[in-house]
Amino acid sequence: MVLKSLFGGTALLACVILSSACVPTVSQPVPPAAVPITVETTAPAAPRPEPVRARPARVQPSADLLNAVQALGSSFKGEVGISVRDIDEGWVVAWEGDRPRPQQSVSKLWVAIAVMEAVDRGRLSLSDPITVNRSDLTVFHQPIRALVGKTGYRTTIGELLRGAMTRSDNTCNDVLLWRVGGPDAINRMLSQKGVTGVKFGPGERELQARTAGLQWRPEWAGGWGFLQARAAMSYEAREKALRRYLAAPMDGASANGVTLGLSLLAQGKLLTSRSTASLLTLMRSSKTGPLRLKSGLRPGWTLAHKTGTGQDLGSLSTGYNDVGLLVAPDGHRYAVAVMIASTQQPIPARMRLMGDVTRAVVGSAR
């Protein structure tokens, strides 16, 4: 396949097949092959005041990074999308970057942005009190569950946001989701702010139930009823439902769409500077996925990120993701997304892929 480029109308051709066990170090692109990798230019961010260190501008990614992304994407045994977006120079290199893939908990990022936008507009305050009741409980990972007694748990909007973004708490996120207007409100926000290629799903409970081939029941709040109902299903019924979800994920987003949203966030186009800084601070404090994208960091580099992990069936794993804003020691910014729709590869191989993408970006910046 031709490697698409907008560089003065000239097509850039570059293809290489290398092992995913290492990051390529070749200095020039090699002859083309039929692989789904793309490069495009975008509008670079406005210059920021007082950069730490001037860096020569590039109008395209380095050959090393181009070859690395291609090698990593082509050699991974699974359905994966990779996107690296240089926010400050205005280019994107991607492997199958436009195909919608399950977001799972990556979608908590869009809820968080909606919450902070409501704060910016004076509709919410992070100090607003809120009670989480047992009927609010969801499924799977929800550390707040242990705190919710018969009379509920009294907390604040800010603490729920912290739980959702740093611990990926499903209940914290769903309570916030409905506080800002539900899934329709999130999708309207994404459309209004120009975050294309991203669709928000129906919320955690409905998403996980439908993925398993079930319809959510209120009495399943907390998750045990859901797990029992799922366990009673036949393997064939669950596989059919899971394949249907993978073919058309109701929370689908492309890797390029996600890095576009991250880029707009970093440039201050989604929130005020104060809210942007607050949200990125939470994302840098995330406790989830320490061996995913973060494993490729080098001294002086930082990552503000959000992970996502879907349901498994037998040896098939789905929705294994990590996305974030990678910042170099000199302040240069990249939006990165690695979204594994489905794979039978073990967790260490998935984490290695993500770390290798980070290592490729870091290596290309030298």
Q: How confident is the model at residue 60 (pLDDT cuts 50, 70, 90)?
A: confident
The predicted-structure confidence for 293-321, as pLDDT tens digits, reads as follows 999 999 999 999 999 999 999 999 999 99
* 224-280 tens-digit pLDDT: 999 999 999 999 999 999 999 999 999 999 999 999 999 999 999 999 999 999 999
Task: Please name the residues in contact with 193: beta carbons below 8 A apart, sequence gap of 6 or more.
Answer: 264, 269, 270
With cut-offs at 50, 70 and 90, classify the pLDDT of residue 2. very low
Q: To which residue do tokens 């210059």 refer?
A: 47
In this predicted structure, the answer to whether residue 93 has a pLDDT above a threshold of 60 is yes
Residues in the chain: 366
40/6 Cα distance (integer angstroms): 6
d(CA 204, CA 211): 10
Q: What is the pLDDT of residue 43?
A: 62
Q: What is the pTM of this model?
A: 0.87
Q: Report the pLDDT value the prediction gives residue 12, as an integer from 0 to 100.
A: 33
CB-CB contact of 213 with 316 (8 Å): no
Whole-number Å distance between alpha carbons of 164 and 166: 6
**Distance (Å, whole) CA 351 – CA 296:** 10
Q: 1 falls in which pLDDT band (50, 70, 90)?
A: very low
Give yes or no for a contact between 256 and 338, defined as CB atoms under 8 angstroms apart.
Answer: no
Radius of gyration of the chain from Cα atoms?
A: 20
Give percent of the chain with pLDDT exceeding 70.
86
Whether pLDDT at 49 is above 60: no
DSSP state of 198: B
